[in-house]
Structure 1
Amino acid sequence: MKSCLPPDPNPIKPSHQLPAGACDAHCHVFGPADVFPYSPDRSYTPPDAPFERLVALHDFLGLSRGVIVQASCHGTDNTAMLDTIARGNGRYRGVAIVDGDVTDEQLADLDAQGVRGVRFNFVAHLGGAPDLDVFDRVLERIQDLGWHVVLHLDAQDIVQYAERIARIKVPFVIDHMGRVRAEAGVDQQPFQQLLELMRNPLAWVKVCGSERVSRGKRPFDDAIPFARTLIEAAPDRVLWGTDWPHPNISKDMPNDGELVDLMFQFCPDAELRDKLLVRNPAKLYGF
């Protein structure tokens, strides 16, 4: 089983000050394993990245809010994420992973604890596409809660699952700019399909994961044209996050302060940046 590299322990202080209410709309908490064990059938083992370290990073960077996205290494055991939301006293919201057996009572309990969506992985190295019957059933169940679904896709999946995605009746969020490959350019079919998808008023996208889109060398500025294009295409339905602690990065490990500065290059306009960082996540996650 693969072990992940730890995040950069020395983030730089960003050159720019973030606006009040700025939200890291994609981050994780992992463990600590002796308190919140990892799933036995996980595909990777992350370094512990607990609540205290996430809060310290957010305070250092100037991020007021965050969305804890459940990752596959914890499976459907959402306790580490729920613990962070509870200890954050309103600072955090969550996106859970659930299975097809989840009950309405369990979903209502997750909602009461600050969860606002579910996540499904389609990414090949994390096990590939979910059971699509379960996918459909869960999406039907979350409608009445006003939740959304987060889709973690590889670039080619945007094309392969286009018809199924078009049938989704709840808001849906595409992670990491669809994990398109920067070297293939903005004209590549998956990115053009993603732009077409953004015409759907239910579609949202996270302009994060630059290190996953990039050829792989800091400062990952080859991701800028993709992020800018998406922000221009759907300024009211874009989100940004750090992806801390950056699981499964085998290339250059990002520096989280540099990622904040990179985001200012994505979005030099202050009005659009306020949407990206403050208003859009407040609307989707109910801050």
Structure 2
Amino acid sequence: MQKIFDAHFHIIERPFSINARKVPPRKSYLVGRYLKECHSLPLDFVGGAVVSSAFHGDDQWYLMGILPQLGKRYVGITQIPNTFTDDEIMALDEMGIRGIRFDLSRVGKNSLTEIETLANRVYSLAKWSTEFYSPGSQVDPELETLILKLPKVSVYFPNTVCLSLIRLRQYLAHGVRLKVTGLSHAVNQKNQMKIVLPLLYRENPQGLMFGTELPETQADNCFSMADIYRIQEALSYDSEAVDNVLYRNAQKWYFKTI
């Protein structure tokens, strides 16, 4: 049975942050439902990274309640302000947090120094990653320069395989990890994925990390077994490559002892 480390998914619980700029269209998506959907598939989910979303803001209650339900094979990616103390960051690390997240649609140029300071601080303290979400295909050049020089970075673009191959290969060449998600959005680009995915994998075999993106709040199509089959086919059923993309890369990225 194919192993999966789900490098990008969300759990939706109320109440949402009072500072949230948007509220998800789906009322709730709880841990029990996520695990039930995963276990209903002929896949072996060996862990994952649950990602705090814009509607959770900086409230840490969200992951505090969710991670114990998911278990020790799962980690959290959170959003914290620059004012968090070192002790507060280490307390989150003890809880299972392994990274911070920024939504690039909400990042202004005035924030670049703050992002760099916080990203370097959480890496120095706890070896956390810094994760960037870009809803579009374009990234501000100054921000892109920052992304390429930070110590441990992953980037998530919806429908990754349909973006500029040159830019994606540049990220991978600099050690930036790319989350392979949103494949359900790319049904009409199946042939493109067959070309792009192997090229990206050859650029950096450790650089691609698969995520289901469940429950998918931005599109009608959700993760299904078809996504797994597309990856296996694109990688010519090479078991090592498939395992790296579907579970091994992300597992090593998030767990310090693996």
Distance 1:82 1:219, change over 3 A: farther
Q: Distance in 2 between matches of 1:158 and 1:243?
A: 24
Q: Distance in 2 between matches of 1:161 and 1:38?
A: 26
Q: Distance in 2 between matches of 1:50 and 1:223?
A: 34
Whether the 8 Å CA contact 2:101–2:132 is kept in 1: the answer is: yes
Find 1:139's aligned residue among 119, 129, 140: 119
What is the deviation of 1:27?
0.5
Q: Secondary structure at the match of 2:222?
A: coil
What is the deviation of 1:192?
0.8
Listed one character per residue, the Cα deviations across residues 230-260 of structure 1 (whole Å, up to 9, x for unaligned) are 22211112100100011222xx423423222
Q: Distance in 1 between matches of 2:191 and 2:60?
A: 34
Whether the 8 Å CA contact 1:209–1:242 is kept in 2: the answer is: yes
Structure 2: segments with no counterpart, 5+ residues: none
Q: Distance in 2 between matches of 1:181 and 1:258?
A: 15
Q: Distance in 2 between matches of 1:132 and 1:160?
A: 8
Where does residue 56 of structure 2 map in the other structure? Answer: 74
Q: TM-score, normalised by structure 1?
A: 0.77
Report how many residues are paired.
248
Matched, 1:51 2:31: yes
Find 2:78's aligned residue among 92, 96, 105: 96
Whether the 8 Å CA contact 1:155–1:181 is kept in 2: the answer is: no
What is the deviation of 1:172?
0.5
What is the deviation of 1:161?
2.9
User: Which structure 1 residue ranges, 4+ long, deviate > 6 Å from structure 2?
Assistant: none
Distance 1:210 1:222, change over 3 A: farther
What is the deviation of 1:276?
1.7
| Corresponding letter in the other structure for 1:57 | E
Whether the 8 Å CA contact 1:120–1:152 is kept in 2: the answer is: yes
| Corresponding letter in the other structure for 1:138 | L
**Percentage of matched positions with identical amino acids:** 19
Matched, 1:229 2:199: yes
Distance 1:66 1:46, change over 3 A: farther
Whether the 8 Å CA contact 1:29–1:81 is kept in 2: the answer is: no
Q: Distance in 1 between matches of 2:73 and 2:90?
A: 20
Matched, 1:277 2:246: yes
Q: Secondary structure at the match of 2:82?
A: coil
Whether the 8 Å CA contact 2:75–2:98 is kept in 1: the answer is: yes
Where does residue 46 of structure 2 map in the other structure? Answer: 64
Where does residue 261 of structure 1 map in the other structure? Answer: 229
What is the deviation of 1:99?
1.2
Distance 1:117 1:86, change over 3 A: same
Where does residue 207 of structure 1 map in the other structure? Answer: 180
Q: Distance in 2 between matches of 1:18 and 1:204?
A: 22
Distance 1:50 1:76, change over 3 A: same
Whether the 8 Å CA contact 1:30–1:46 is kept in 2: the answer is: no
Q: Distance in 2 between matches of 1:117 and 1:142?
A: 8
Q: TM-score, normalised by structure 2?
A: 0.85
Distance 1:51 1:75, change over 3 A: same
Equivalent residues in 2 for 1:102-141, closer than 5 Å = 102-123=84-105, 127-129=106-108, 131-141=111-121
Structure with bigger helix share is 2
Q: Distance in 2 between matches of 1:159 and 1:222?
A: 30
Whether the 8 Å CA contact 1:207–1:230 is kept in 2: the answer is: no
Where does residue 244 of structure 1 map in the other structure? Answer: 214
